[in-house]
Chain A
Amino acid sequence: NAGVMQNPRHLVRRRGQEARLRCSPMKGHSHVYWYRQLPEEGLKFMVYLQKENIIDESGMPKERFSAEFPKEGPSILRIQQVVRGDSAAYFCASSPRLAGATDTQYFGPGTRLTVL
C-alpha cells in the first residue's frame, strides 16, 4: 500500500510566480490535511479537505492561497504571486475517516518550496 505521495519534492519559484503542490492520499483515504513548516519551526495546520469540499481552511492565509481536492485526481495547494516568506516545507497528510481521537493522519514526504 503506497503511502501519501507529494510532488514535486522540491520547487523553486521566482517572486510573483505561481506554485502548485500536489498530494495523492493513501489508497482508501478520503480526508486530506495540509500543513506548513517554516524553517526552524513546527508544522502548522493550514486546511482540511474531503473530496470536492473544503471543511476547514482556518489555518490558511486569506490572500493568495487556495486548496482543492477534486473528485478525481490529487489534492492541490495553490499559491499565487509567491513571496519570499512562502519559502517553507509543505506537508500533506491523509486519513481514512475524519482524523481525531483514533483516526491517524499519515504524512507525505513534503514539498520544499524556495522562492527566489
Chain B
Amino acid sequence: DAKTTQPTSMDCAEGRAANLPCNHSTISGNEYVYWYRQIHSQGPQYIIHGLKNNETNEMASLIITEDRKSSTLILPHATLRDTAVYYCIVPSSGGSNYKLTFGKGTLLTVNP
C-alpha cells in the first residue's frame, strides 16, 4: 500500500465539522483512497472512498487534492458517537490490493 501519514489525534466540538487530513504523496494514478473508522472494541467501519473527484455519502465527504497527494475526510456535524480512530488507506494497485494496511490512524475525540 502507498504510505499514508495522519495526525495522531484530533479534537472536535460536538456539532462542528471534523476535518481529518491524510498525506499520501506516493499514491499512483489508479490507486484509490479509502477511509475506515474503528470505534472502541468494534470492527472497522467503511466510510467512503475516492479516486480523484470529491465524494459525498450519508456519512462523510472526501476531498482529494488535484495532485492526489493528500485528502481530507469531513464529518459535517460531528457527534459524540463519531469518537473513533480514523484510518486513511491506499490499497496498492498490484495483485494483492485486497490487503488493507491499517496504520496508527487518527484518534478523533468529539467533545460535548
Number of A-B pairs whose CB atoms are under 8 Å?
64
A99-B98, A101-B32 given as contacts; is B105 within 8 A of A108 (CB)? no
Interface size on A, residues (CB 8 A): 29
Query: Secondary structure at chain B's binding surface: helix, strand, loop or mixed?
Result: loop
Which residues of B (4-47) have their CB < 8 Å from a CB of A?
A: 30-32, 34, 36, 42-46
Inter-chain contact B34/A104, CB cutoff 8 Å: yes
Q: Kindly report which residue of chain A lies nearest to residue B36, judged by CB atoms.
A: A107
Check B43–A108 contact: CB distance below 8 A. Answer: yes
Once the chains bind, are B43 and A107 in contact (CB under 8 Å)? yes
Residue A48 interfacial (CB < 8 Å): yes
Segment at the interface with A among B59-67, B74-82, B89-97: B89-97
**Chain B residue total in the interface (Cβ 8 A):** 25
**What would be 28 A-B contacts, judged by CB atoms less than 8 Å apart?**
A42-B87, A42-B101, A42-B103, A43-B100, A43-B102, A45-B99, A45-B100, A45-B101, A48-B99, A56-B96, A59-B99, A99-B91, A99-B97, A99-B98, A100-B98, A101-B97, A102-B32, A102-B49, A104-B46, A104-B49, A105-B46, A105-B98, A106-B46, A107-B45, A108-B43, A109-B42, A109-B43, A110-B43
Q: Which 10 A-B pairs have the closest CB atoms?
A: A42-B102, A107-B43, A100-B97, A43-B102, A99-B98, A45-B99, A107-B44, A109-B43, A110-B43, A101-B32
Binding site for B on A (CB under 8 A): 4, 6, 31, 33, 35, 37, 42-45, 48, 56, 58-59, 91, 93, 95, 98-102, 104-110
